[in-house]
Structure 1
């Protein structure tokens, strides 16, 4: 179980990094900034890999976390990089990550 919490922490930290990288940016600024795009994609890879490492039992007991979507996005970024949609990644950072962070915060003990 401790490993699950370590992976949840990694997921949360990846989200936090993405939030920091993209804070205050518009879509147009993000689109034109290859460094931020690259950093964001790397953190999404970490997020998805950490999600993949969470035990199946834990995943099943927390169906509100989009485990398969996180893992799937990581797989696309890592293995099918030519299919990466920067617009989709941007929308993920703006719409999906804030509620994910809130959900993860509830699952990680002693996280303030």
Structure 2
């Protein structure tokens, strides 16, 4: 049985939590210098992007402020143009785009009983 929308929302929250844990207390310079951490975080971002891509449109319409297409596009970059991923772009995505996504998913899970 394929994952449900709630499963995908939980995957997004779980990946965000892992990223937050990895970056807790870290500066941009520490992040940029640690190749293994960047690769691991990029993998979690891939999970977030793929789970977002597979969410039903009805869920995405509830959050028009989230750049869903941008997430899907970034996932494609991570998968297919991984050699051109820059640390500052990843850092910016984490600090600019993940907080509103996390808030939306938490609200959605709370109202759906997930």
TM-score bracket relative to the smaller structure: 0.7 to 0.9
Alignment of 1:84-95 (within 5 A): 84-95=85-96
* Per-residue CA distance 1:2-25 (angstroms, 9 max, x = gap): 811111111111111111111111
Alignment of 1:6-85 (within 5 A): 6-85=7-86
SS state at 1:47 partner: helix
- TM-score, with structure 2 as normaliser: 0.86
On the 8 A contact 2:66/2:100 being kept in 1, the answer is no
Equivalent residue number for residue 102 of structure 2? 101
Q: Displacement of 1:81 after TM fit?
A: 1.1
* Per-residue CA distance 1:89-111 (angstroms, 9 max, x = gap): 01111222122211110011346
Q: Structure 2: give runs of 5+ residues left out of the alignment.
A: none
Q: Structure 1: give runs of 5+ residues left out of the alignment.
A: none
- TM-score, with structure 1 as normaliser: 0.88
Number of residue pairs matched? 110
